[in-house]
Structure 1
Amino acid sequence: MAVSLFVRGLALQAQRSRVGCIQSRSLASAVAEVAIPEAETASVSPAAQPNYKIMSGLILSRPPVITPEQTPFEKAYYFYQSELKKRLMWTFPSWFYFPEGTLAGRRFQGVQKVIDQTEREEFEKPDVLYNRDRRSKQDVVLPERDVERETEESARLYAKITPVSRTTEADAKNDVHSLERKLDRTLYLIVKKDRKSHAWKFPTTEVVGTETLTDTAKRLLSTAGGLNMNTWIIANTPVAYFHYPYKPTDNEKFQEAKVFFLRSRIFAGTFAPQPSSDIVDYAWVTKQELKDYFHKDYYNTLSNALSSH
């Protein structure tokens, strides 16, 4: 009797669970029927969706090759440090370059100025060591050159150090196609296309398929400037962004172009516009010179990503 009651209770519980599941499914179906029309009415038509062209731009630069020109304050500071070092430096080791008892040693001693210590008061006597007054810098006088007996090593001793000119031939000719100009400044590559407005810009091209911005930038370098360049894209993250709308006369299927610029460096080689590209001219210019080439809005948007040095 107890077993039969227990079995009836289990059957009743199972029947109630089955009814609850059916009611839950019915409720879920009803909600879905109501929600589907709302989702269909809330969807945006394809014509109203934004239509952009994603492009990759390249800020290719050549870093400074030499140090910048010194300011008047820097020149005065380094001159002071040089004179101070001469006064504190160790006495010129004449015994090493002109050994005592040799012909070269006698010639060297014969042209040196001898310091007189006889007719001076005690407090005026100089601090002399190896014929040098250590209270001031040492003036070393070298004997006249004996060209007939001169060796290559002794010739280097008399050779004057002449600094290389900071101005190159490209600077004199104002050759903007050369990387040998403005050696103390950062140069940027800009290209010109055959159009009336906004002709000069940084190199840019459209991202195709599943390309990343970096892949597109590498393709741009080879197709626009050739393979005779040793370059390095510093990072995959864009450093600048610029966008502009298309005009109806541009015959573009896109409404707007969004350009993401990557920073890159050139170490060797030259940029040579390829016949297959639409580039008609190029130039290597400084940040200050870009104002003469770029549109005002274009320059103001990207100037913060450029170096002033």
Structure 2
Amino acid sequence: MIIVHTPDADERRFYLQQFRLALPGKSFVCSDDDYSNDEIDTAIVWRPPPDFFAQFKKLKTIFALGAGVDALVARKDIADDVALYRLCDAGMGAQMVEYVRYGVLHWQRQMYRYQHLQLHQRWLPQPVRLAADVRVCVLGLGELGEQVAKALVADGYRVSGWSRTMTVIDGVHAASGLPALDELLTQADVVVSLLPLTTQTKYLLDSRRLSLLPEGAAIINASRGAIIDENALLNALNEERLEFALLDVFEHEPLAASHPFWNHPRVMITPHVAAVTIAEEAVKQIAENIEKRARGEPIDGVVDGKSGY
């Protein structure tokens, strides 16, 4: 039996109906239903409550309704022999490309400055920045990062990329390893973080690494808030070493109303919407993976507990 859980009751009922339509031969319940814990061998979840999985002694498989699984990997109620899978793209790639393109253009065309000038009724054209002169570094070259990097290359930007293991992408100067990261940061006008959150990437962009960026550079964070030391970022913005930050994710969400990011003139905030799960795509992908697993076929999106993604 397969249990479906999301924090919102209406949403989980919607997913329950969609999965029953996609796999009529399977038995689905949601966390509101009556069922025996011993019947549950598969869970499809997003943000389950604490100790949710401990009740299912026969659980063998978990499918996440999202691409980010750091919270699931860190949980203590999942047995070591339970297989964990994340979504691969599922409609999120195109959204992420749009989000990053917007952020890069916002910096390139200096829209943040024009917003400030408008507030003061000032007519003051800014110097032109051409795409061919803008250096963009994409951190994280997985499914989403690769799509973003390729799109930026097609737009005419000078694109570099960094990942844990070496990834080759046409038109992208790619590198791996921490020494290579430091070198790439010294040559980046815009840094785009699309990294998974692991013990190795937490606070990867700390005060020292942020100081490596050229003066006037920009940060776009659309992965996980704790990739960046937020205090170090705030200091760099206050000291005007960094010119602009587009932030979709934060270490603690929702962002506290008292946080200085909200009213900072160099910061644009979005509420974790850079690339949201498209329900129809997610159901299709997970349903296909359930059938593949039943047939003993390999499944995309397997999570390596050691690497954290």
Q: Which range, TM-score by smaller chain? A: under 0.3
User: Considering only CA atoms, is the larger Rg found in Structure 1 or Structure 2?
Assistant: 1
What TM-score do the two structures reach when normalised by structure 1?
A: 0.20
Q: Select the structure with the greater relative contact order (CA < 8 A; seq sep ≥ 6).
A: 1
